Amino acid sequence: MAESKTAHSPLVTYFSMISLLTLCPPFVILLWYTMVHSDGSILKTLDYLRQHGMKGFVEIWPRPTATAWKIIAAYAAFEAILQLLLPGKIVRGPISPAGNQPVYKANGMAAYAVTLITYLCLWWFGIFNPLVVYDHLGEIFSALIFGSLVFCIFLYIKGHLAPSSTDSGSCGNIIIDFYWGMELYPRIGKHFDIKVFTNCRFGMMSWAVLAVTYCIKQYEENGTVTDSMLVNTILMLVYVTKFFWWEAGYWNTMDIAHDRAGFYICWGCLVWVPSIYTSPGMYLVNHPVNLGTQLALSILVAGILCIYINYDCDRQRQEFRRTNGKCQVWGKAPSKIVASHTTTSGETKTSLLLTSGWWGLSRHFHYVPEILGAFFWTVPALFNHFLPYFYVIFLTILLFDRAKRDDDRCRSKYGKYWKLYCEKVPNRIIPGVY
């Protein structure tokens, strides 16, 4: 049984799954409704619900229409074709717990550029207006909620009947299997990697596409784009560009290398990312805040700096591992721990743990600029409403939980070597504080 299975007890799984199924879909719809139809005001939406009750809630839940399905199908097919056909360097992922090493084609940056250029050209030449996406947003989210459920059932069945590698298997509990996933690296055929598609090419790509959509919507409505919207869109695009620039590095992270493809992660990438991660921009469409050049530029520079530091943390760790510690970290030879561990097949392997540079400040310092970056692309909304800040708050909780989850996993993987790292670098996230 691989580590993703042992990490979650049945009770945590049931609780997590029930919350995700019952609370998150209505939340996605209510957030969209509040942003688009309720002036971004939670109080206004609550007032509506108080007056109209459950019937009112059912009425505001958009039904997935044919237009919504067509938009999703066209987008998904386009991204799948780009993933399969665009050229890219062949890269190898980390060796899995069962000893497999997935091979990828690193064409994310090309797919990202082609997607955005195509989308802007479709708009500019009057072939497809992004306003159609904005005007059907509720229906699209609704279709994604149902569609992703069906997709995860497919993953579950595939995991049982046709797993792509030995990094798969059942833990004997159908709910845990469905929720946390059966396969670590599911593929269709030899080349179409499902997690690259859901996490990167559908989820992360939709973030950029929707950020641009919100900007275009404001432009088409008002004939101009406010500086707040510009700062928000530029920062979100810089972030997503950074992501695709570093996509092959992402294939070494927990999402890909440790978490199996199940409902938890797929739902997050297919529904939560497009709806919640993009929400500060969704809010700004109907709230054209003017910040003034100085404030707008200050926020922009601070945001870009945070995104850069976050990138540099990931780059530093990756470069350190790639060169087997034979690199410079902040101008010096890195300090490190040589940590040995045993794989599920009983082999003893060693990994290097970096204990200087960003990774010497705290064990998950990279989450600090990640959270601050999100704050800076939200703050152009100023402080009239709470809802635009939901993503930053959610992200903070997610990353604090993730840091704990990762520490627990590393402790059980590296034992005394991890203890040594914790002694050398005592703080988990915020240097000197936590």
Please report, as ranges, the residues that interact with ligand NDP according to CB under 6 A. Answer: 253-255, 310, 314, 317, 351, 353-354, 359, 366-367, 370, 395, 398, 402, 406, 410, 413
Nearest approach, Cβ of 332 to ligand NDP (angstroms)?
16
Burial label, 10 (beta-carbon count in 10 A; 0-12, 13-18, 19+): exposed
**CB nearer to ligand NDP: pick between 220 and 407:** 407
Q: Which residue is nearest to ligand NDP (CB)?
A: 253
**CB nearer to ligand NDP: pick between 139 and 370:** 370
Using CA atoms, how far apart are residues 80 and 194, in angstroms rounded to an integer? Answer: 10
Nearest approach, Cβ of 122 to ligand NDP (angstroms)?
28
Please say whether the beta carbons of 180 and 266 come within 8 A: no
Please say whether the beta carbons of 46 and 61 come within 8 A: no
**CB nearer to ligand NDP: pick between 49 and 372:** 372
Among the listed residues 362, 337, 329, 350, the one whose alpha carbon sits nearest the alpha carbon of residue 418: 337
**CB nearer to ligand NDP: pick between 37 and 336:** 336
Nearest approach, Cβ of 317 to ligand NDP (angstroms)?
5
Q: At what angle do helices 205-222 and 66-85 cross, to 10 degrees?
A: 130
**CB nearer to ligand NDP: pick between 141 and 377:** 377
**CB nearer to ligand NDP: pick between 29 and 329:** 329
**CB nearer to ligand NDP: pick between 225 and 429:** 429
Long-range contacts of 149-152 (CB under 8 A, 24+ apart): 149/263, 149/267, 151/198, 151/266, 151/270, 152/178, 152/262, 152/263, 152/266, 152/267
Nearest approach, Cβ of 299 to ligand NDP (angstroms)?
19
Nearest approach, Cβ of 421 to ligand NDP (angstroms)?
6
Using CA atoms, how far apart are residues 223 and 165, in angstroms rounded to an integer? Answer: 53
Nearest approach, Cβ of 350 to ligand NDP (angstroms)?
10
Q: Which amino acid is at 204?
A: M
Using CA atoms, how far apart are residues 107 and 339, in angstroms rounded to an integer? Answer: 33
Among the listed residues 360, 335, 231, 338, the one whose alpha carbon sits nearest the alpha carbon of residue 290: 231
Nearest approach, Cβ of 395 to ligand NDP (angstroms)?
6
Query: What is the token pair recorded at 183?
Result: 């396969």
Backbone angles phi, psi at 336, to 5 degrees: -150, 165
Backbone angles phi, psi at 432, to 5 degrees: 80, -5
Nearest approach, Cβ of 377 to ligand NDP (angstroms)?
12
What share of residues in the chain are helix, strand, coil (percent, to 5)? 65, 5, 25
Nearest approach, Cβ of 374 to ligand NDP (angstroms)?
7
**CB nearer to ligand NDP: pick between 317 and 385:** 317
**CB nearer to ligand NDP: pick between 234 and 372:** 372
Using CA atoms, how far apart are residues 433 and 427, in angstroms rounded to an integer? Answer: 7
Nearest approach, Cβ of 193 to ligand NDP (angstroms)?
17
Query: What is the token pair recorded at 244?
Result: 């695709």
Round to the nearest angstrom and report the end-to-end CA distance of the chain: 33
**CB nearer to ligand NDP: pick between 44 and 402:** 402
Using CA atoms, how far apart are residues 316 and 318, in angstroms rounded to an integer? Answer: 5
DSSP state of 426: -
